[in-house]
Chain A
Amino acid sequence: MVEEKKKILLAPLDPVHDVGLKMIRRALDEAGYETNLLPPDLPPEEIVKNMIAYKPDYTLIGRTLGYDVETVLSRLVDLADASGLRPKMKMVVGGMPIKPELAAELGFDAGFGPGTTPEEVVAYIEGRLEAEQHTKVLRQKPKIAEGFSYRFVNEEIGRLCSEIADEALAWASERTSPGIERSQIRREMFSLQRRGDSAGVEKLRREYAALCDSFIKPFYDLGQTVGKTRLLSESELAALNEYAAEAASRLVPRRVRHSKERPLVFTQYGTGCPFMDVAHIKVVEAWGADGVIHFDPSWGARHEGLLEGHITHEEDGSPITPENLALIKHSLMPWTLWQVRAHRGLNTPETVVLAGEMKADLTKVNMVYGSLGAGTDPERLVVDGTEALRLAAEYGLPYDVVTNEELCGVPAYKAFAGMLIVATMGIKLGGRPILKPLFCYSPEVLINGQMSDNYVDFNAAKLMALRSIIDAPVWPGEPVGFMTHTSDRIQASATTMLHACLASSLDAVAVTISSSDEAFSGGPISAASRVDTLRAVTEGMRFFGKAKIQPTEKAEEFARGITEGIQKVLQQVKARGSFVSALYEGLLGNKEDGVYPGRAGRQTVRTRST
C-alpha cells in the first residue's frame, strides 16, 4: 500500500521504443502510484518542461537506442539540474545500453540495465532495493512443505502404510546403533560448545572417536588426514571469506521462474572442496537457483564417523564436517534454501543433527534406497533412519524421501511403496516428508518401453499416481532427466529444461536440475555448465509460463498401473509382518531388479537397555 501517492513521470527518450516504460507504468499504476507517460521522441528540453509542470517525485527515462546515448542523457541531466528540480526529484534511467555505472557517471540516481523487471523498478521506488545495487530484488526464503494435509486419499494404501509404519517404528524403538550414539554425542558437543565448556567437548570427542571405525579413528587419535583430503589453511579461509562477501555484495539474482511461484529450482553442489562449493553456490544463486543440495563423498556413507575441520577433498563429494557446513551456511544468500542430505549411510542421524544445528532448511532420509541401492545394511539403516526422522521432526526440518533405487532397476511402483512407508513413518513422528520420484529414463522403462514414444507420459503418471494416494508435496529429482543427458551441453541443457518444465506443468513444489556436465565423467562439474542449465530452464519457464504440457491417454493407464503395483507390494510387506525382513527378502526390490541388501554396518544394531 502506498502511504503518500508519489508522482512518477515516465519519458521515452527514443523515437518509438516505449514498451518497457509502458510495462513499468502498468506495474506502478497497480502499486498505487500516480503516473504520467510522455509520448516518445521528445527532445530533452521538452521532457524537462514536463518535469517542471508535473513536479514528479521520480522521473524514469527509457533509452533503447545505443547511439549518442551519453550525449543525450548528459544534456537531459544538465537541463534538469539547471531547472532546480533535482533536490526534490530523483532521476532514473533504464534500457538496453544502460549500466548502473554509466547512469551514476552521467548523474542519474539509478540505472537499470537489460533484463530488469517492472517489479524491480517498483521495488526501487519503494526503497526495497539497495541504492547502490539498483536491480537487486529482496527475495524471501520460500517455504517448501507447507499447505499439505498429509492425508491419504487412497484409504486402502493409507491403511497398509500406517500398519507397516507402526510395526517398523515399534521395532526400531527398541534398538540403537553406533550411529545413533554418535549423533547423541555430537548433539551434546554442540550444547557444551555453546556453554564454552571446551574440556567437556574434548572429553566427548574421545568418546566419539571410540565409536568410529578404523578409517575415521586415526583422524581423531593421531591427527591423520583421511583418503584424498587435506585441511584448508587459515590464509585460504580468510581469502575465501573475503571472496564470498565481495561476490555477495555484487550478486544481482536472475529469476528462473517466470510467472509461477513453484517449482523451486534446486541444484546439487559437492565439488569435493567447500571453497569451490561456495564459489559454485554464488554462481547458481546469481543465475536464480532457489536452493542448493550438499552432496557428500560416497565413502562418507560407508564409514562409521564424520570428520571435523575445514576439509577439502580431491574427488566428488564434499566432506560433511561441522566446520565445512558452517562455512557454506555463512556464504549463502538469506533467501537460498539449503539441504544437507542424510539419507543413505552409517552417519544418517548425526548428519540430521548437523543439519539442524547449522540451521539447514531441509534434509533427506530414505532407508529403502540406502539399504538396497547404496550399500547400508537394512536393519542398521531402519534403526538409524527412524532416529533421523525423529530428529528431523524435532529440528523442524522437512526432508525428501528419494527413490534412487529406480536407477538400479527397481520398478517405480516398488520404489514408491518403500517411499510411502518411510514417509508414513515420518508423518507419524511429526515430520514433513516430501515425496521425491525420479524423472528418469530408468532401466524399467528401457526394458518395458513406457518411454518408447515420449518422456512425458510415464513421468507424469508418477505424479498422478502419488497425488491419487496422498496429499503431500512432490519434488521430482534428482536431478531430473537422469539417463537422458549426453555430454553435449546443448542437448543436456535442453533435456534438463524440458524435464524441469514438465515438473512445473505438473505443479511440483520443487525440482532438482543437473548441470550440462551431468553425463561428462572426465572431471569435476564446471561453473559454466551450471549456468548452461539454469539459463535453459529460465528460458523454458519463460516459454511455458502457466501453460501446461499435455500427456497422452497413456499417462492415466500408467498411473493406474503404478498405483495398483504399490498396493500389491504393500500387501506383501504387510503380510510379511516385518518391514526390515521385507527389505532383506527383496519385497521392495531384489537381485532380479538389480539391488541387494547392503552390508555396511551389518550386526552393529543392539537392543536398547531398559
Chain B
Amino acid sequence: MKEPINLVMDAIDVETFLACTSEEEARNTMLEIMKRMGLNEAEIVFVETIGPGARVRARCYVHKPGDEYRWLRGGRKHG
C-alpha cells in the first residue's frame, strides 16, 4: 500500500501569511503549525515580518541525502 508521504522526493514546504506582531511569534507559530500537522523537525526557511504580519515558509525534510528513499519503491510501506 502506498504511504503518501513516502512519495515526497525530499522536503515539504509550507508557506503562508500569519497575522502576528513579531518575527519570533511568526517562527514559533509556524513551527507549532508544522508540529500539529505531523511535520516534526521542521525549520523556518524564510520569514519576513512587516506591518500586519509575517510571510513565512517552513520546511520539513522527509528524505535527506544518504537516506533510504521510499519513493524509489513507489512509496510502498514495505519492500
Contact = CB atoms under 8 A, between A and B. Distances in A.
Q: At the interface, is chain B mostly helix, strand, loop or mixed?
A: mixed
A240 B43 CA distance: 29
B65 A313 contact: yes
Contacts of B71: 243, 279
Contact of B69 (A276, A313, A523): A276
A522 B46 contact: no
Contact of B65 (A236, A273, A489, A517): A273
* Residue of B11, B45, B59, B63 with highest tally of chain A CB at under 10 A: B45
B48 A524 contact: no
A239 B59 CA distance: 27
Contact of A489 (B46, B64, B73): B46
A272 B46 contact: no
A195 interface: no
Contacts of B59: 522-523, 526
A275 B66 CA distance: 8
Interface in B4-35: 9-11, 13
B37 interface: no
Interface in B25-79: 43, 45-46, 48, 55, 57, 59, 61, 63-69, 71-73
Contacts, number: 68
Interface in A453-510: 486-489
Contact of B61 (A273, A486, A523): A523
Interface in A516-564: 517, 520, 522-524, 526-528
A240 B67 CA distance: 13
Given A522-B45, A523-B59, A240 B72 contact: yes
Nearest to A230: B66
A194 interface: no
A524 B10 contact: yes
A78 interface: no
A271 interface: yes
B8 to A, nearest CB: 9
Contacts of A276: 10, 63, 65, 69
Contacts of A608: none
Given A488-B46, A489-B46, A489-B57, A524 B73 contact: no
Given A312-B66, A314-B64, A527 B10 contact: yes
Given A276-B69, A489-B46, A520-B45, 20 more contacts: A228-B66, A236-B68, A236-B72, A239-B73, A273-B65, A275-B69, A276-B10, A279-B69, A283-B9, A486-B46, A488-B48, A489-B45, A489-B57, A517-B45, A523-B11, A523-B43, A524-B10, A526-B10, A526-B11, A527-B9
Q: Give 5 closest A-B pairs by Cβ, nearest first.
A: A272-B65, A273-B65, A239-B72, A314-B66, A526-B11
